[in-house]
Amino acid sequence: MDVYDLSKDVAKILTSDPLFLDLFEKSVIAAVLDMKEKTDNNSTCSDSQELKHSLSASISNWICNDYLSLLKNSVSTDRNEYDSTTLSIIPMQLGQLIAMIHDETISKRTAKKILTFMHNQYIEHEKRPLPRAVAEEKGWKIISDPVIIREMCVESIQQHEKQLNEYKQGGKKVWKIEKFFAGKVIKASGGNAHPEKVREILVEVLEEAKEE
């Protein structure tokens, strides 16, 4: 496990059951392949190694925390021993899920919803949906398109004239008003709007409204 640069505690959990270790190692491979499809072929070896370490750290964390918690709380088992019927997630699913977090297709919060959904789909129906398909079907992907975000920002400030007028007046409360509008935009997006891009575009929209 030294090749993955994991802590002793994490390594102990992953090696406690051959199924966990197999899930981890194959998920890392799946995640790396998924990520490489989105990068150019000029990536250096050092970049690839850094990517592998980053993905392996994330995958080990998700197995040891989120996924293990799902298994222990599942209605299908009340014991601490696992077999092939209780490992509801396969490497392709977990690897792709972590890759989606890293390429900012989904947020960590959404990833937890997708993990739970995939787990339940297997437990209840023995289905293995892939996370990219789930995110697309459910509309859970991060919204990064600046045009769409701008439209949401404009709509938000139009719906809250009082706060907009307070912003135009300036003063110490400006940052609170920006935070207020950002919250409204993210809520309107179902929590899927990219927070940093929302803040960036929102300030532009507010400043434009201020000059009108």
Residue-range domain boundaries for the chain: 2-138, 146-211
The DSSP call for residue 2 is G
> To 5 degrees, how large is the angle CA 13–CA 103–CA 141?
100
The C-alpha angle with vertex 18 and arms to 26 and 25, in degrees rounded to 5, equals 20
Give per-residue pLDDT as tens, 27-79: 999 999 999 887 655 455 456 888 889 999 999 999 999 999 998 887 554 44
- At residue 212, the pLDDT reads 79
What CATH number does the domain located at 146-211 have?
Answer: 1.10.10
Output the CA torsion sign for 160, 163, 167, 172. negative
Q: What is the pTM of this model?
A: 0.84
Per-residue model confidence (pLDDT) at position 73: 83
**Closest by alpha carbon to 50, among 64, 36, 65?**
36
